[in-house]
Structure 1
Amino acid sequence: MHIESETWTDAEQTETNLALLPVGSTEQHGPHAPLGTDTLNAEAVAERAADEYDGEVVVAPAVPVGVAEEHRAFSGTLWTSESTFRDYVRDVVGSLAHHGWDRVVLVNGHGGNIAALREVAGRISRHDEAYAVPFTWFDEVGEHSSDMGHGGPLETALLQHANPETVHEDRLDSAAENGSERWGDWQGRVNLAFDADEFTENGVVGDPREGSAELGETLLTAAADALVDLLDAVAARQPGPRDD
């Protein structure tokens, strides 16, 4: 059930404590992919998993702005501080829990959110009347995970499958030619760069021409299957003790 498209009376009839909260970002993804790429992809994975799950699960509206200041040089990018982001996610989870949906998977589509989501999920699970765990879709696509860039083949492929109208196919060559092969500017194991424009001219990392709708279907299937398995585990798990 997608609660934003339901009435409150229908929401009241749900008989589940499971919820999915898609979490994305509004940030540049090169000249070929939309600013909402991370949100669209997180929503696509959450929706597929909810459809495939053998049981009822609530899907909340996505959190569309995340920890993305590293893309501030590119027009249209929005961001919030980690502390504001964590507090906002915690409040949304608290709202879900208030209605009985107190086991929440945070379905993430943005690398910059990962650390903050892990921290806030721990805080929620230790101190609130809820249990939350983070899930980042591109970590759950098997061997393809090593190809993750930014606006690269994986993100582009998932868009090409789930939201094909958002991809500017005629800009893929330019996106690849003016991008970077690797995230960051490294000295040994230290990344000297803090912002994306320090190492990529157009914001792209990886070659989006290596993506395709067929690859996108493979990625979506793998990520959604992993998320379904996680929902089963979350439903069965007895969370650790909470602070009163």
Structure 2
Amino acid sequence: MQLTEATWTDADGLDTDLALLPVGSTEQHGPHAPLGTDRLTARAVARSAADVREENGEETVVAPAIPVGIAEEHRQFTGTLWVSPDSFRKYVRDVLTSLASHGWRKIVVVNGHGGNVGALREVCADVTRHEEAYAVPFTWFDAIGATEMGHGGPVETAMLRATDPELVHDERIEEASAGASDGWGEWVSGTNLAFDSAEFTDNGAVGDPGEGTIERGEELLEEATAALVTLLDAVDERDR
């Protein structure tokens, strides 16, 4: 069930303690992909997994996606929004505990932004240790081992082609590829000298978005959905 589309009486009638909380970011993804890429992909994976479970007769609550995360590393690119790690952790924690207050005490946080990973692990641990709830983070591209991830590169562009194709600017793909960097950061002796993406990519993209086909996107969505369903089954069965 999508909470944003349900009435409170619909939500009250659910017989489940399992919920999904999509979390993303509003940040640049090159000239060809939307600022909301991370929120859109996280939401798509969460909804897809919930649909699979519903087909199997198992209810799952899908909360509204959190749209702004820890993304100051993209601050030089117009439209990027960010909050401090402390603000992010507190906000996510409050959303998790409000879900738990309604009886949805087993929660998987479906993340689409690399900058959120550390904070989400911390806040899920804190909620699990100190509240009557169990929360775990799930980052979809890490779960499927998307090694060519980049940023606004082939993986995210492909995923968007599968989930929100109308938001990909095909006429800018060549431009995005030309201004993209090959990798994330400036590495010396195992240390990344760059703190902001503008230090190593001209237009914000990392990796060649031209390689992000819809066929690859459909594969990614299927793999991420399967990984999340497997995790949800494990969380559902876990005795806390």
Q: Cα distance, 1:141 vs. partner?
A: 2.2
- AA of the residue aligned to 1:186: W
Partners of 1:44 and 1:9 lie apart in 2 by: 25
Residue 19 (structure 1) aligned with residue 22 (structure 2): no
Report the equivalent of 1:28: 28
Partners of 2:103 and 2:140 lie apart in 1 by: 25
Q: Cα distance, 1:197 vs. partner?
A: 0.1
Report the equivalent of 1:242: none
Q: Cα distance, 1:237 vs. partner?
A: 1.1
Q: TM-score under structure 2 normalisation?
A: 0.98
Residue identity (%): 62
Partners of 1:163 and 1:149 lie apart in 2 by: 19
CA offset digits 1:134-159 (Å, max 9, x no partner):
000001224xx110100000000010
Q: Cα distance, 1:217 vs. partner?
A: 0.5
CA offset digits 1:156-189 (Å, max 9, x no partner):
0010011000000110111011110000011120
Residue 76 (structure 1) aligned with residue 79 (structure 2): yes
Residue 88 (structure 1) aligned with residue 91 (structure 2): yes
Q: Cα distance, 1:128 vs. partner?
A: 1.1
1:137 to 137, 140, 143: 140
- AA of the residue aligned to 2:203: N
Unaligned runs of 5+ in 1: 240-244
CA offset digits 1:209-230 (Å, max 9, x no partner):
0001111000000000000000
Partners of 2:161 and 2:8 lie apart in 1 by: 34
- AA of the residue aligned to 2:175: S
User: 1:218-229 counterparts in 2 under 5 A?
Assistant: 218-229=219-230
Q: Cα distance, 1:24 vs. partner?
A: 0.2
Report the equivalent of 1:156: 157
Residue 66 (structure 1) aligned with residue 83 (structure 2): no
1:100 to 100, 103, 110: 103
Report the equivalent of 2:113: 110
Partners of 2:104 and 2:193 lie apart in 1 by: 42
Q: TM-score under structure 1 normalisation?
A: 0.96
How many residue pairs get aligned? The number is 237
**SS of equivalent to 1:76:** coil
- AA of the residue aligned to 1:205: V
**SS of equivalent to 2:110:** strand
Report the equivalent of 1:8: 8
Partners of 2:160 and 2:91 lie apart in 1 by: 27
Partners of 1:141 and 1:168 lie apart in 2 by: 26
Q: Cα distance, 1:236 vs. partner?
A: 1.0
**SS of equivalent to 2:108:** strand
